[in-house]
Structure 1
Amino acid sequence: MLDQDHVDFEHLWEQWAEAAEEQASSRLRAMDRIVENNQEKVINAFQKHRVSDFHFAASTGYGYNDSGREVLDLVYADVFGAEAAIVRPHLVSGTHTISAALFGCLRPGDELLFVTGRPYDTLHKVIGKPGDGLGSLADWGVHTKIVPLLEDGSVNWEAIGAAVSERTKVFAIQRSRGYDWRPSFTIDQIADMVSRIKAIQPDGIVFVDNCYGEFTEQREPTEVGVDLMAGSLIKNPGGGLAPSGGYIAGKQRLVELAAYRMTAPGIGGEVGAMLGTTRSIFQGLFLAPLLVGQAVKGSIFASAIFERLGFETHPRWNDPRTDLIQAIRFSAAEPLVHFVQSIQKAAAVDAHVVPEPWDMPGYEHPVIMAAGTFIQGGSLELSADAPVREPYIAYMQGGLTYAHVKFAVKGTLREFRKRGYL
């Protein structure tokens, strides 16, 4: 027999969920339109390049003349409005992919300028320190400058103008918020950044870390003048099916240079057995617009319901969306940890596992991560992570189905009510 507390919570949940969905209905419908437009874009690219069953065949060894791999690159380039692209399972993470792109473009004596503030934690070792012996950018003689954002989260153009030198070659933009309480940058904002950067340094290379942003809007950074961008296949564009990998897209010459870093000079993207992953990468791309839409709708719902219950959220339910990430601020470490643990408990995979904060490689503070996913670390799937530090902010992302996100939010609120946080 159900106890009264369970009955009371179910009644409250129905009220909260219905009110949140009614409040956010216009935003949810708008996301459906974005899904439809992006789905059309993807299908058109598949049809243009005559994707066929034989393109899914596995290659081995060097992978010479792998037509599936070659067509996959062309499809990605078309979807992202770029001159060229490389898409490979051998790129092991977003950080690896971004690193290949930056090392491909930069040479000793060049300068890298981050215009959107301090980059994501895992890039700090890529940037490195002079003489660190790690093979970092600094170890290879590339100098990096980071221009902090203004207090309102906008780009500090006056400071950027002062920071640019004749050595400045690459201007880096991180589209998503990372572990910061700031807005992520929309495509319109990135287009404005490109225009301003080119006015300052016409020959400068504009690079975008596009992780978490693909298909959340109707355009991608390379469609508004960005020279090069990179992302991970276990995030948005892999559609929950790609088992590993990353992509780099942009100007032909820059993609070629990145490919030389990915493999070796003179080899580039001409080789590389796909090891049976081609079908899942193609199919994941086909599904990506829909599944990204499901995840974004889940974030809108979560923001609406947590905001109604007195929590601070970013973005708020009615703010423009340009990535998957939903940030929620808590008053202390305990509710932060319990939130992440509740997301894990709602998973279909490893729901019985209780995550704890730990010193994760590449991060500067203990991090707690909920990742009950079919693809290890796949953040298009419902996941959450948080550095356990002030301010106590959890970053939730993904959700292959809207229903799963709702289920997870329901479980979190049940746990919060039990612990007296509500």
Structure 2
Amino acid sequence: MNSLEQLRQAEQALLEIFSGIDTQVKHNLKRVLDAFRNHRVGAHHFAGVSGYGHDDLGRETLDKVFAEVMGSEAAAVRVQFVSGTHAIACALFGVLRPGDEMLAVVGSPYDTLEEVIGLRGKDQGSLIEFGINYRQLELTPEGTIDWQALSTNVTENTRLVLIQRSCGYSWRPSLSIADIEKIVHLVKQQNPNTVCFVDNCYGEFIETKEPTAVGADLMAGSLIKNPGGTIVSAGGYVAGRADLVEAAACRLTAPGIGSYGGATFDQNRLLFQGLFLAPQMVGEAMKGTYLTGYVFDKLGYPVNPAPLAPRGDVIQAIKLGSAEKLIAFCKAIQQHSPIGSYLDPVPDEMPGYESKVVMAGGTFIEGSTLELSADGPLREPYVVYCQGGTHWTHVAIALEAAINAIGSAGD
């Protein structure tokens, strides 16, 4: 069976799942529209403020709209956040103080957080260097949360629990909203004062609720992932309890300024429009992950999540087994990207990552992982992580080339 026929077969098998995704998109879009209407968003909110950014009506209204959509008390949506990692770091440094403990409950954190915590690197002002104690609960051998350990490991000194929703570069299921709600419940039973913080990158609009709507105290993410709808140029957000959002904003700007400063550089229209587009774009990306998982499972490759399993983020992992196949896969995706299709991905060092990374990212916004991209660290077992896709048909075209480039698992 050729690659085109394999994809057609996959599309037919996934019709019911695709229809369910469309229903969810409609539900999520309705909550976005409700928030826009409740806060009377108008064209006057697109105007920006220069300099300090004081009294930016558009920015202030966007924060309120975003908070309502996310089911949280408050939010700070800012182009000054360099990345999701930056937003997460601001949240962690905002909440934690010397002597506090941070407990990661879903195994090892994403590579880019290791230097923030202080697990790699030195003399950069990591959490550990500021006297924050760090522990992590390992996953079970099956790659799932160790619920038994979680129910007994939160102490009086555990100021913050880190919950990474996405699998990141780990071979584990990404967390569902039900998983996050259960984690929060177990943590609060042991210490009601512990802050439950969620790294929400790649997870927004995957389900019909967000972590802060089911009890998480604070979360953070990137605007060049899901909530930017593929059109926001840069930035990130924090959302949750009002006092914790303000504490994170004080780390982004300065104590006394917090969320009240920060010019928006005439980006307000894109920020509003990106949020409006986000449910649809995430829906298309989810269809792309199902298509990718289904086809490569049929080709004999281990895939995570499983072909028909519910999604926890916009990432589909495929265990390719060799550096040659990882590079060839990324090369095929790059050649079928709208931007830089003539470029060859080459493994290289990347800031914040432990291993060399090969990355296909022919996206309109640099690093936008809600647009179609694929990457993976050059280390065993050579897993490629496929992300995003503004429309699943683009994913299908790129996958046809990737199948032809690497063949089945036995090739």
Q: Cα deviations across residues 272-293 of structure 1 (Å, max 9, x unaligned)?
A: 1100111111100000000000
Q: Cα deviations across residues 40-93 of structure 1 (Å, max 9, x unaligned)?
A: 010110111011101001210011110000000000000000000000000000
Q: Name 2:283's counterpart in structure 1.
A: 293
Is the aligned partner of 1:155 residue 2:158?
no
How far apart, CA to CA, are the structure 1 residues paired with 2:105 and 2:228?
28
Q: Cα deviations across residues 152-187 of structure 1 (Å, max 9, x unaligned)?
A: 222223333554332110011000001011100000
Please give the secondary structure, in 1, of the residue aligned with 2:246. Answer: helix
- The answer as to whether partners of 1:230 and 1:246 remain within 8 angstroms in 2 is yes
Please give the secondary structure, in 2, of the residue aligned with 1:386. Answer: strand
- The answer as to whether partners of 1:145 and 1:163 remain within 8 angstroms in 2 is no
How far apart, CA to CA, are the structure 1 residues paired with 2:383 and 2:120?
32
How far apart, CA to CA, are the structure 1 residues paired with 2:58 and 2:92?
27
Please give the secondary structure, in 2, of the residue aligned with 1:384. Answer: strand
Aligned letter for 2:288? G
Alignment of 1:10-409 (within 5 A): 12-128=2-118, 132-409=122-399
Shift in Å, 1:135: 1.1
Aligned letter for 1:253? D
Percent of residue pairs bearing the same amino acid type: 48
24-33 vs 401-410, which deviates more? 24-33
How far apart, CA to CA, are the structure 2 residues paired with 1:248 and 1:336?
34
- The answer as to whether partners of 2:4 and 2:400 remain within 8 angstroms in 1 is no
- The answer as to whether partners of 1:335 and 1:421 remain within 8 angstroms in 2 is no
How far apart, CA to CA, are the structure 2 residues paired with 1:420 and 1:105?
46
Please give the secondary structure, in 1, of the residue aligned with 2:130. Answer: coil
- The answer as to whether partners of 1:350 and 1:372 remain within 8 angstroms in 2 is yes
How far apart, CA to CA, are the structure 2 residues paired with 1:238 and 1:375?
11
Superposition RMSD in Å: 1.6
Say if 1:131 and 1:294 are closer, same or farther in 2 by CA, change over 3 A.
Answer: closer
Please give the secondary structure, in 1, of the residue aligned with 2:198. Answer: strand
TM-score normalized by structure 2?
Answer: 0.97
Aligned letter for 2:176? T
Shift in Å, 1:17: 1.6
Shift in Å, 1:341: 1.2
Aligned letter for 1:205? V
How far apart, CA to CA, are the structure 2 residues paired with 1:332 and 1:98?
32
How far apart, CA to CA, are the structure 2 residues paired with 1:264 and 1:217?
34
How far apart, CA to CA, are the structure 1 residues paired with 2:28 and 2:225?
16
TM-score normalized by structure 1?
Answer: 0.95
Shift in Å, 1:96: 0.3
Shift in Å, 1:205: 0.5
How far apart, CA to CA, are the structure 1 residues paired with 2:409 and 2:148?
47
- The answer as to whether partners of 2:114 and 2:120 remain within 8 angstroms in 1 is no
Q: Cα deviations across residues 235-284 of structure 1 (Å, max 9, x unaligned)?
A: 00000111000010000111111111110001101111100111111100
How far apart, CA to CA, are the structure 2 residues paired with 1:369 and 1:172?
27
Say if 1:16 and 1:138 are closer, same or farther in 2 by CA, change over 3 A.
Answer: same
